[in-house]
Amino acid sequence: MEHRMELFACRASKDFACKVVDELNLIGANAGEKYHLGASEVTKFSDGEFVPSFTDSVRGATVFILQSTFPPTENLMELLLTIDAAKRASADKVIAVMPYFGWARQDRKDKPRVSIGAKLVANLLTAAGVDRIMTCDLHADQIQGFFDLPVDHIYASKVFIPYLRSLNIENLAIAAPDMGGAKRANAYAKELACPVIICHKSRERANVVASITAIGEVEGKNVVIVDDLIDTAGTLVKAAEVLMEKGAASVRACATHAVLSGPAYDRINNSCLKEVFVTDTIPLKEGVDTSKIKVVSMAETFAAIIRKVYNYEPISTEFIF
């Protein structure tokens, strides 16, 4: 039997998967390659239980299943059941493509008597039968080590850095919203040949920031805050306010995952932020004002890496850092 690739999407990533397939067809056009999104469905019971199934055969195929786990609980369960269905349908390999990896903020025990959610999710994915994971900008890089199987960790810098260059922002400075983001901010600043600013924050509790101070030369700079995700936007908006108070000419933000929960959209719209750049790993909410938010697609990057992984080609050229 000729080996083949099959691409499927769970419900949270249908739109993103369609864009990935379009990019795959563009990339593979010269080689005569044609790609499509496989047919699948989810049957729901009245109590909320659901059963994913494949309409198309996956026997002997390398199956790529695209699913961001946001919101995390139901979408993770759907991904696990879909992986299990593929393995039971005799797929040769199953690769979970998780543009956004939910539970990644639970990467360690930061206080007594708590779980390490990211490790548990890794165990669940492995138990379901996944052979490889593909994800983007994990909240903590060390989560890759929670798996005893290959993890392709993609960086949104691949699309963000060229995009920021194209804007030709004068007196640019890159800022980290907290000490944990200093490594990412330094990497962006190095690529863009500009200074870096570090914001130091103290929290009262989860999603509640007490105070922020900025370290670095801010006066007259057009600052871009870089982060892996925006949740409630509390930290982001406070950091922007502090930077403007210290003399920044403007403040923008650049974050991979648009979680944007609770009051996030209102906070961004009512803030001093000039623009917010996000990727399409998570779709924006419908019916809200997104005029300040610009989406930079990761579909081409994921498509290129999916194709290279399937063909056993090196993928290091697809990374900036």
61 CB-contact burial (10 Å; exposed 0-12 / middle 13-18 / buried 19+) = buried
The CB density around residue 272, as the number of other CB atoms within 10 Å, is 13
* 157-296 is a CATH 1.10.290.10 domain: no
Query: What SS3 class is residue 251?
Result: strand
Looking at residue 169, its pLDDT comes to: 98
Q: In terms of Cα–Cα distance, which of 312, 311, 227, 306 is closest to 273? A: 227
- In the chain, where are the structural domains located? 4-154, 157-296
What does the pLDDT read at residue 157?
Answer: 96
**CA nearest 119: which of 136, 129, 104, 131?**
104
> Terminal CA-to-CA distance of the chain, rounded, Å?
39
Q: Helices then strands (H, E): number in the chain?
A: 8, 14
172-to-153, 178, 196 alpha-carbon distances in Å: 28, 19, 9
Q: Angle at the Cα of 131 (from 125 to 136), degrees rounded to 5? A: 70
Token pair listed for 6:
């099959």
pLDDT at 210: 61
**CB-count exposure of residue 21 (10 Å: 0-12, 13-18, 19+):** buried
Q: What pLDDT was estimated at residue 211?
A: 76
- Note the CATH architecture for domain 4-154: 3-Layer(aba) Sandwich (3.40)
pLDDT at 316: 87
Q: Which residues, in sequence order, are CB contacts of 227 under 8 Å at separation 6+? A: 176, 177, 181, 184, 236, 253, 254, 255, 256
- Give the per-residue pLDDT at 207: 56
How confident is the chain (321 residues) per 10-residue block, as mean pLDDT?
Answer: 88 98 97 96 94 96 98 96 98 98 93 95 98 97 96 96 98 94 96 96 62 91 98 95 97 98 97 98 95 98 98 85 63
The whole-number pLDDT of residue 204 equals: 61
Using alpha carbons only, give the angle 264, 278, 18 rounded to the nearest 5 degrees: 115
Q: What is the structure's pLDDT at 284?
A: 97
Is residue 201 annotated as part of the catalytic site, yes or no? yes
The pLDDT value recorded for residue 318 is 77
Question: In 3-state terms, what secondary structure has residue 160?
Answer: helix
Q: Is the peptide bond before 71 cis (omega within 30 degrees of 0)?
A: yes
* Catalytic residue, candidates 93, 158, 201, 221: 201
Backbone region of residue 48 per phi and psi (left: phi > 0; alpha: psi in -120 to 50; beta: other values): left
pLDDT of the residue at 129: 98
